[in-house]
Amino acid sequence: MARNSPALLAWQSGALGRAVIAAETQLIAEVCDDVFGIELLQLGAWGRDRELLQSSRVRRQTLIAEARSEAVSPDIEAHPAGLPIQGGSIDAVLLPHCLEIETDPGAVLREADRVLVGEGQLIALGFRPWSLWGLRAAASGMGYPPGINRLLSERRLRDWLALLGYEVTAARHYLYVMPSEQREHPQQSPGMLRRGLFNPLPPGGYLLKARKRVYAPTPLRMRRRERAPVLGGLVNPSTRT
């Protein structure tokens, strides 16, 4: 079982970590303004408690994480690949880098699919392997941000979602900044969410929003064709008064 390491928690509390989480909170609010329902699950701790969900329009938000920490007090302590939740009962699921932290991302994604209702929505955040953030993660022995097991490309996640019958309804790129620690808080940097006219850096992160499609089989109906009665191969003449 994977859980947020002390190094990852320390990074999230630093200047760059706080800026990334603030940008992701704004991004989620922009992309998920049409996500409604009764119950939303956030799988995995990322940031402080439910700060990613502060603009959610879903009636109830539940945070599920493996363990408590100084920054996070989950509503339910459970592994994301084994949720104590009834199947088909959740309207939306948020995966904030959860698939990169957990050792078996496929199992977590299948579990999220199990609890979602038909036409429910799934939102996932990830770091792009082919970016400056991905290069730093590859060069670091601890991963980057520290504690991230492996980066999952947007293309692979799209393939997994397609196999599960999901339709991607929104995709956004962000983190057009260097993955370098700074003393000053870079939260107001315009490159956190948008490229800008004179910014050559590739995006370091992505968001995918997908809808769980349920295709009901369409019954085949035999069309009855009205035919005039035939006698001896000839059509009976109509009756005249």
This prediction's pTM: 0.85
- Residue 66, domain member (yes or no): yes
- State pLDDT tens for residues 178-203: 898 765 555 556 788 988 777 788 99
Cα distance between residue 202 and residue 199, in whole Å: 9
* Helix or strand holding residue 127 (H, E): strand 116-127
Domain that holds residue 88: 6-218
- State pLDDT tens for residues 69-114: 877 889 999 999 999 999 999 999 999 999 999 999 999 999 999 9
- Residue 176, domain member (yes or no): yes
Confidence class for position 175, pLDDT limits 50, 70, 90: very high
Which domain CATH number covers 188?
A: 3.40.50.150
Instruction: Tell the burial category of 67 from Cβ atoms under 10 Å away from its Cβ (0-12, 13-18, 19+).
Output: exposed
Cα distance between residue 62 and residue 113, in whole Å: 16
Q: Which residue has the higher pLDDT, 215 or 237?
A: 215
- Residue 237, domain member (yes or no): no
- 95 near 43, Cβ under 8 Å? yes
Pull the structure tokens for residue 162: 């397609």
**Segment 215-236 mean pLDDT:** 50
- Residue 41, domain member (yes or no): yes
If one counts the domains in the chain, the total is 1
- Residue 25, domain member (yes or no): yes
Cα distance between residue 62 and residue 120, in whole Å: 16
**What phi and psi, each to the nearest 5 degrees, are found at residue 208?**
-120, 135
- Residue 36, domain member (yes or no): yes
- Residue 101, domain member (yes or no): yes
- 72 near 28, Cβ under 8 Å? no
What is the biggest distance separating any 2 CA atoms in the chain, rounded to whole angstroms? 102
- Residue 225, domain member (yes or no): no
